[in-house]
Amino acid sequence: MSTAIITEAKIPHYIDGQWVESNAREWSEIVNPATGESLGKVPISDAAEVTKAIDAAAAAYPAWRRTPPEDRIQPLFKLKVLLEDHLDDISRLITQENGKTFTEAKAEMRRAIENVEVACGIPVMMQGYNLEDVARGIDEMMIRQPLGVTAAIVPFNFPGMIAFWFLPYAIATGNTFILKPSERVPLTMRYVYELIEKTGLPKGVVNLVNGGKVAVDTLIDDPRVRAISFVGSTPVARYIYARSGEKGKRAQCQGGAKNPVIVLPDADMQMATQIISDSAFGCAGQRCLAVSVAVTIGEAQKTFRDAIAESAAKLRVGNGLEDGVQMGPVITKQSKERIESLIGVGEKQGAKVLVDGRNPKIPRHERGNFVKPTILDGVPASSELSHTEIFGPVLSMVHANDMDEALAFLERNPYGNQASLFTSSGAAARRFRYEAPAGNIGINIGVAAPMAYFPFSGWKDSFFGIMHGQGRDSVEFYTEKKVVVERWAKEHSRKF
Ligand code: NAD
């Protein structure tokens, strides 16, 4: 496969149907995490540039809102085809700026496309409901109307997919939309917006601004922006949710995670090992649904530990564009340092580094941010590390005597993005499904990512808000309910 680097000196914004060069004073380097090479520069915009995007989205809204839903979804059908036709190019870009493997990048884009497909059902999904004769001759109906300008702020770990948890639903329901990608991976959305440009969407309906905190604060503080969607780390999610609340606007803010998996001794160990290895080390552990702490019960402590250690040590790590590579680098040098230092913290807190992925030598990639799969065995269940998000290819192993103890450990986890169980017992599975304190549950599943027609249901510190991303929740989030109670006197109808 070609490993050509796609570079662009300076990333522009897309505002009011035009590519606009930024006049930002501050620019941030976009770096290929596998090679250390520069891929271009992204503007850290000031408030004035972001306000231009809000102006454009606000101006486009009245006509877009009046466009019939059937017509609003036609550009989405075109976008699905364009995304499919350019799947390889987009995926290569994702690998170049994010580091995940080409196969993982393609899988990510399939999830993006799935959301476009689901949003094409808006003419049905957006319907309200009604009842005749709530009192004699009086009818009542609930209709859904769009909000106006909406915005989404997204993280680095899925440069192609996460924007699609929001964009298709926002515009299909009649809103206009502004996206702020992560400043670490702006190239993918730059490319995707070139495809969006070809769909015939009226100017100003979708906009793209690059930047950091100032851009985000501008979106939150402008009263014309009615709804904020955020995905990223918990401290920023909490901040954005609070600031949006102060401004009286609705927000859905997805935060970080520390996803546990319980392995019972009756699990199919071969299957469990393969799936958990993929979950913990796939995308270099930088999936918000990555399993990062395995709680073994009974003899699974030994059987699972031995099998996962063997599997982790075998994974081929390198540049995700090269054939046969199973795991890429982590996003930045700072991430690598943080992950490696947390492995050290684990050691200090009493864990044994069973498989040590620190400071690996990857031939021809000395400047890459590589950490190989790492297993910390015997992490004390009471240690801080057992509940700290590492966001790298590190699996902590904790042991519990029984399911009660394992579930109590999960209760203490501040996050609730996902919890999984591996077992062959239906009764254990049912108990787990019933009691596990997380919003996405996997039973013999390592990455329990909800399909686009189900909500992405984080709990606890993994989510601030009420309506989640994707599917029906998106329709709720992006619309306002209006209830109409109607009476028409009989005499009027007799006139005709
Ligand atoms: P991040 O919080 O650093 O950044 C996310 C976005 O917020 C970026 O667009 C960034 O520019 C912006 N941002 C950063 N600091 C800000 C601030 N102080 N004020 C306003 N905006 C700010 O997250 P990241 O490092 O890009 O992504 C990794 C994190 O995202 C992990 O914690 C991961 O668990 C989480 N994540 C969660 C989900 C989920 O579904 N819950 C999905 C993907 C990633």
Enter the DSSP assignment of 287.
Answer: S
pLDDT score for 4: 44
- Spatial CA neighbour of 406 closest among 384, 389, 422: 422
Helix (H) or strand (E) holding 67: none
**Residue 200 φ then ψ, to 5°:** 85, 15
Q: Please tell me the residue having the least CA distance from ligand 1 atom 34.
A: 256
* Same domain as 296, residue 220: no
- Active site residue: 120, 253, 283, 288, which one? 288
The domain tally of the chain equals 2
**CATH number for the domain that contains residue 409:** 3.40.309.10
Cα of 187 vs centre of ligand 1, distance in Å, is 17
CA distance 174 to 144: 10
Are residues 394 and 473 both part of a single domain? Answer: no
Calpha distance 131→26 (Å, rounded): 57
Q: Which of 348, 347, 330, 352 is nearest to 339 (CA)?
A: 330
Q: Is 68 exposed, middle or buried (0-12, 13-18, 19+ CB in 10 A)?
A: exposed
Q: Would you state the pLDDT for residue 267?
A: 98
For residue 449, tell me if it sits in a domain.
no
> What is the spatial distance between Cα 264 and Cα 304, in angstroms, rounded to a whole number?
9
Ligand 1 geometric centre to CA of 230 (Å) = 8
- Is residue 270 one of the residues assigned to a domain? yes
Residue 70, classified by CB atoms within 10 Å of its CB into exposed (0-12), middle (13-18) or buried (19+), is exposed
Using left for φ > 0, alpha for ψ between -120 and 50, and beta otherwise, residue 219 falls in: alpha
Nearest CA to ligand 1 atom 36: 232
Distance of alpha carbon 368 from alpha carbon 373, whole angstroms: 15
* Position in ligand 1 atom list of the atom nearest CA 153: 9
Q: Are residues 246 and 310 in the same domain?
A: no
**63, 80: one domain:** yes
Query: What is the distance between the alpha carbons of residues 357 and 353, in angstroms, rounded to a whole number?
Result: 9
**Closest to 437 (Cα-Cα) out of 286, 263, 258:** 258
Please state the φ and ψ torsions of residue 373, each to the nearest 5 degrees. -50, 135
Indicate whether 223 and 278 sit together in one domain.
no
SS (H, E, C) 382-414: CCCHHHCCCCCCEEEEEEECCHHHHHHHHHHCC
3 occurs within a structural domain: no
The DSSP letter of residue 284 is G
> Are 147 and 19 found together in one domain?
yes
Relative to the CA of 183, which ligand 1 atom is closest? 11
Q: Helices 102-119 and 87-98 sit at what angle, rounded to 10 degrees?
A: 120
Expressed in angstroms and rounded, the spacing between residue 310 Cα and the centre of ligand 1 is 33
Are both 357 and 299 inside the same structural domain?
yes
Residue (of 205, 373, 232) closest to 292 by Cα position: 373
pTM (global) more than 0.95: yes
Residue 223 maps to which CATH number? 3.40.605.10
Do 244 and 341 fall into the same domain? no
Residue 457 counted as domain residue: no
Q: Is residue 448 part of a domain?
A: no
In a domain, 91, yes or no: yes
Among the candidates 443, 471, 491, a domain finishes at 443
120 flagged as catalytic = no
**Cβ within 8 Å of residue 402, ≥6 positions away:** 297
Residues in the chain: 496
Q: How far apart are CA 285 and CA 333, in angstroms?
A: 15
372 in any annotated domain? yes
281 and 392 in a single domain? The answer is yes
Mean pLDDT in runs of 10 for the chain (496 residues)? 58 98 97 97 98 99 98 98 98 98 98 98 98 97 98 98 98 99 98 98 98 98 98 98 98 98 98 98 98 98 97 98 98 98 96 98 96 98 96 98 98 98 98 98 98 98 98 98 93 65
Question: Which among 79, 87, 159, 82 has a CA at the least distance from the CA of 116?
Answer: 79
Q: Which two tokens stand for residue 490?
A: 């009989």
How high is the pLDDT of residue 9? Answer: 87
Do both 353 and 420 map to the same domain?
Answer: yes
Helical ranges in 150-222 per DSSP H: 167-172, 187-197, 213-221
Q: CB under 6 Å to ligand 1: residues?
A: 153-157, 180, 182-183, 212-213, 216, 231-233, 236, 239, 254-257, 288, 389, 391, 417, 456, 458, 462
Domain encompassing residue 408: 259-443
- CB-count exposure of residue 410 (10 Å: 0-12, 13-18, 19+): buried
* Euclidean distance between CA atoms 96 and 112, whole angstroms: 18
Same domain, 396 and 329: yes
* Domain identity same for 187 and 305: no
Residue 397 lies in a domain: yes
